[in-house]
Amino acid sequence: MKTVFISLFLLIGTTLTLQAQRKSDLIAEIESLKSQLDSVSSEVLDARKNERVAQARATSFEAQVTSLQQSNNTLMSNISNFTAVSNKNSDIANSAIESLQATEGKLRSIKNAIASNDSTIIVVLTNVKQTLGEEAKIAVSNGAVVVSSDLTSLYGSDSGTTLTPEAEVWSEKLASILKANPTTAIDIEGLSMTGDLNVPAQQALAISTVLQSKFAIAPERISTVGKDGNLKEGVQVKIHPKFSDFYLMVREEMKN
């Protein structure tokens, strides 16, 4: 009986010991699980913090990207506007250069025409001196070579309107000068100091008629007029480049 009690006591003691050990193990396991839970919770908290930081950074990066895109768009727009303005200014500059070149060309043409007229006058002056002789009354005035002659040698008297033989020889020499310079024209002026312009006009016309009929000078190259000589009388012949052609050339250049 005593043995039974001892066995029962040992069994109960063992059971209690096992239960105590089991409880201790459970408590230890619970503590371990709690520690693991705390660790996991801490990691989750850190992860959430990191997620918020990453999200904030992502938002910041997105804002920076958006700002950079806007700046880039503005820059591209400014470049486009600058290019357009630059092209427009370039077109204006090119147009101005073309206009200046065209104007320079017109001025060059006029200058060349003036130089050509001056050269013609020099040639005509040389021809007149060689043809009429050093005793002839010759001058240069307003772009023309002026040859003067008295009325008596040309018409026999102050009021005569028919050329003398001497005047016809003189007219022939004028014709040879005109033929040697085909781009020139001739103005024949009858000068009066009495106020009567009819006789001077007829005297000028007589020379024109001889030049056309006897020496084949084209009528469009000749003009005649009777005018007040301002206390002078006689005939003045002016040989010059065709001013009308020069005027027409200048007018055409200015129109274009």
Q: How confident is the model at residue 164 (pLDDT cuts 50, 70, 90)?
A: very high
- Between 110 and 238, residue with greater pLDDT: 238
Domain contains 109: no
Instruction: Check whether residue 83 and residue 121 sit in a common domain.
Output: no
Alpha carbon 136 to chain centroid distance? 53
Instruction: Check whether residue 84 and residue 160 sit in a common domain.
Output: no
Residue 238 predicted with pLDDT over 60: yes
Instruction: Check whether residue 55 and residue 119 sit in a common domain.
Output: no
Q: Check if the beta carbon of residue 247 is closer than 8 Å to that of residue 194.
A: no
How far apart CA 121 and CA 67 sit, in angstroms, is 79
Domain contains 102: no
Give Cβ neighbours of residue 136 (< 8 Å, ≥ 6 apart): 128, 129, 147
Instruction: Check whether residue 52 and residue 122 sit in a common domain.
Output: no
What mean pLDDT comes out for the span 225-243?
90
How far apart CA 147 and CA 151 sit, in angstroms, is 13
Task: In the chain, count H helices and then E strands.
Answer: 5, 5
pLDDT at 95: 76
Instruction: Check whether residue 62 and residue 162 sit in a common domain.
Output: no
Residue recorded with tokens 């012949």: 237
Domain contains 104: no
Q: End of a domain among 60, 93, 126?
A: 93
> Residues 13-38: pLDDT tens digits?
566 565 656 667 667 767 776 777 67
Domain contains 103: no
Instruction: Check whether residue 16 and residue 87 sit in a common domain.
Output: yes
Q: Residue 186: enclosing H or E segment and its boundaries?
A: strand 184-192
pLDDT at 65: 59
Split into its structural domains, the chain has a count of 2
Instruction: Check whether residue 74 and residue 162 sit in a common domain.
Output: no
Instruction: Check whether residue 123 and residue 241 sit in a common domain.
Output: yes
> Residues 41-99: pLDDT tens digits?
666 566 566 666 556 665 766 677 577 678 767 867 777 776 777 677 777 878 778 77
Residue 124 predicted with pLDDT over 80: yes
CATH number at residue 141: 3.30.1330.60
Instruction: Check whether residue 72 and residue 118 sit in a common domain.
Output: no
pLDDT at 163: 95
- Between 142 and 50, residue with greater pLDDT: 142
Domain that holds residue 132: 114-255
CA dihedral sign, ordered 104, 106, 107, 113: positive
Q: End of a domain among 63, 93, 123?
A: 93
pLDDT at 97: 80
Instruction: Check whether residue 78 and residue 132 sit in a common domain.
Output: no
Instruction: Check whether residue 235 and residue 147 sit in a common domain.
Output: yes
- Between 237 and 243, residue with greater pLDDT: 237
Beta-carbon neighbour count of residue 37 at 10 Å?
A: 10
